[in-house]
Amino acid sequence: MKELFLYNTRTRSKDNKFQSIKPFFVGMYTCGPTVYNYAHIGNLRTYVFEDILKRVLMYNDYKVKHVMNITDVGHLIGDRDMGEDKLEKHAKLENKSAWDIAKFYTEEFKKNIKDLNIIEPNIWCKATDNIKAQIKLIKKLEKRGYTYQTSDGIYFNTSKFKDYTKLSHQNLENLQEGARIEKNEEKKNSTDFALWKFSPKDQKRQMEWKSPWGIGFPGWHIECSAMSMKYLKKYLDIHCGGIDHINIHHTNEIAQSEAATGKQFFNYWIHGEFLNIASGEKMAKSEENFLRLQSLIDKNINPLAFRLMCLGTHYRKPLIYSETAIQNFNTVLNNVINGYRSILEKIDPNKSPEKIEQNPILIDFEKAINDDMNMAVAFSYYYDLLVSGNNYSPELRKELVLHMDKVIGLELNNIKIEKIQIPQNIIQLAEKRKIAREQKKWDESDRLRNEINQLEYDIEDTKDGYTIKNKLNNFKTN
């Protein structure tokens, strides 16, 4: 087996070779969307990085069991259990039921996933479908003496859990001080968090359930502990999310899970950095800087250009989004597709596919992906093969790019490659340009190229003449 190195937030290092609990099998849990609004491209960056991770594992011959939750209840406006439930609040704003809101935004999220070629998890699980498992876990914590009751819910006592900040490496005293700003006088420690919240006495919530402590709903963190253990059993290999989850959500998941089981909760914690806008601000659902994938599609950007943009910056570095950058990645995507098409055109159907094992480019590619997912470098090998070819035969280039594409994930084989009909006037301009070049009339030849470009076509000189390409819509995705 090849050696794979992944940066682990838990140990703060990528020094040790990745090792799963069971050989050739990985249990992977990724915190999913809170479905009260559309996902923005920042959220989607996180899901693309997780998809790359999964593909890298699969490339390394692991069978991956991937579980993703849908948070459809319990995520309050403040991550420390203050404020309204995000779903109930948005249901009121949109004049719909919380259930309809959840259903609508879950479907929208799944469309985004598909558009970005993100492989679907093996298990989608909703918090509202798993209330029993959450209550069971809270009961276990209660029995072990980790909980206490206040007027608004059941809380986890963080002071009873040794090493509460072991994932975040935060200074606990500063943290207690900082968290005190969000006043909840009844909490024993300001880092304590809700396991179960009671419905308000004077009002009926849309989403509420009976429990041994009273009618209410689960806290946000408990769902991920309960569902990851329920669906992955003892194969708690990798848990992922965005970096914002390190300090509160994942810290609390670890505290409550390890308090309940006495065992380590997940061996690898892998976190993706934010997508920011040019001013350095984080893209957030609550901010006006919110951009959806659909906004890119409306501007004729192929969603897969956004996938490439995510690959262009290492997942542990901030990705700065700008319109110019996404336009550039759209061009890169067009080059990839044109490159693949020209390979297919040159393939000799009578030749059998070439062997790719031990090819030096593939070895370099594997080294890059296995070095904590260095995708920018990995992509450069793929791109070179598509656009320049490294003097390889078209048959070998095809085999190599399709092999690498298992990780890059453009799914070149599924992209519908249409032979385009070049209009007659463009062909005439190209012919005139060819004659101008033969007569070494370079100014005239440049002028004709400009004219062709203005009509949204491009011309590429080849050994035997030229190729005409449609600049914008020379491909279609399924």
Binding site for ligand AMP (CB under 6 A): 31, 33-34, 42-43, 45-46, 241-242, 244-245, 274-275, 282-285
Q: Which helix (H) or strand (E) holds 111?
A: helix 98-115
Residue 227 binds Zn ion (CB under 5 A) = no
From Zn ion, ligand AMP, none, which one binds at residue 386 (CB under 5 to 8 Å depending on kind)? none
Look-up of token digits 């992209």: 415
From Zn ion, ligand AMP, none, which one binds at residue 224 (CB under 5 to 8 Å depending on kind)? Zn ion
What torsion do the CA atoms of 135, 139, 141, 143 make, to the nearest 10 degrees? 180
Q: Which helix (H) or strand (E) holds 362?
A: helix 360-370
- With beta carbons less than 8 A apart as the criterion, state whether 270 and 6 touch: yes
From Zn ion, ligand AMP, none, which one binds at residue 252 (CB under 5 to 8 Å depending on kind)? none
**Which 3 state secondary structure label does DSSP give 376?**
helix
Residue 224 binds Zn ion (CB under 5 A) = yes
Residue nearest to ligand AMP according to CB distances in the complex: 242
Figure out which of the listed residues 4, 28, 31, 305 binds Zn ion, where binding follows CB under 5 A. 31
CB of 231 to Zn ion, least distance (A): 13
Q: End-to-end alpha-carbon separation of the chain, Å?
A: 35
Stretch that binds Zn ion, among 28-36, 145-153, 297-305, 411-419 (CB under 5 A): 28-36
Residues contacting residue 233 through CB under 8 Å, at least 6 positions apart = 27
Which DSSP letter does residue 439 get? T
Q: Which helix (H) or strand (E) holds 224?
A: helix 220-232
Residue 64 binds Zn ion (CB under 5 A) = no
From Zn ion, ligand AMP, none, which one binds at residue 282 (CB under 5 to 8 Å depending on kind)? ligand AMP
The backbone torsions φ and ψ at residue 33, rounded to the nearest 5 degrees and listed phi first, read -80, 150
Q: 192-225 b/e with 16+ CB inside 10 Å = b?
A: bbbbbbbbeeeeebbbbbebebeebbbbbbbbbb
Cα separation, 420 vs 429, in Å, equals: 17
CB of 106 to ligand AMP, least distance (A): 11
Cα separation, 435 vs 392, in Å, equals: 32
CB of 281 to ligand AMP, least distance (A): 9
**Mask 167-206, x = binds Zn ion (CB under 5 A)?**
----------------------------------------
From Zn ion, ligand AMP, none, which one binds at residue 45 (CB under 5 to 8 Å depending on kind)? ligand AMP
Residue 6 binds Zn ion (CB under 5 A) = no
Residue 76 binds Zn ion (CB under 5 A) = no
Sign of CA dihedral 245, 246, 248, 252: positive
Cα separation, 478 vs 416, in Å, equals: 6
CB of 197 to ligand AMP, least distance (A): 18
CB of 163 to Zn ion, least distance (A): 20
Stretch that binds Zn ion, among 170-178, 179-187, 221-229, 355-363 (CB under 5 A): 221-229
Angle (nearest 5°) at CA 70 between 306 and 210: 165
46 or 474: CB nearest ligand AMP: 46
- With beta carbons less than 8 A apart as the criterion, state whether 457 and 451 touch: no
Residue 268 to residues 6, 237, 253, 259: CA-CA distances in angstroms? 9, 6, 14, 18
284 or 347: CB nearest ligand AMP: 284
CB of 292 to ligand AMP, least distance (A): 13
Look-up of token digits 């390394």: 60
Cα separation, 469 vs 302, in Å, equals: 17
Residue 67 binds Zn ion (CB under 5 A) = no
196 or 340: CB nearest Zn ion: 196
CB of 276 to ligand AMP, least distance (A): 7
45 or 307: CB nearest ligand AMP: 45
CB of 47 to ligand AMP, least distance (A): 7
CB of 45 to ligand AMP, least distance (A): 5
266 or 306: CB nearest Zn ion: 266
Q: Which helix (H) or strand (E) holds 272?
A: strand 268-272
Stretch that binds Zn ion, among 4-12, 53-61, 222-230, 423-431 (CB under 5 A): 222-230
CB of 220 to ligand AMP, least distance (A): 9
Query: How many alpha carbons fall within 13 Å on the CB side of residue 374?
Result: 14
CB of 272 to ligand AMP, least distance (A): 6
What torsion do the CA atoms of 410, 414, 419, 420 make, to the nearest 10 degrees? -60
31 or 412: CB nearest Zn ion: 31
Residue 68 binds Zn ion (CB under 5 A) = no
Interface contacts to Zn ion, rule CB under 5 A: 31, 224
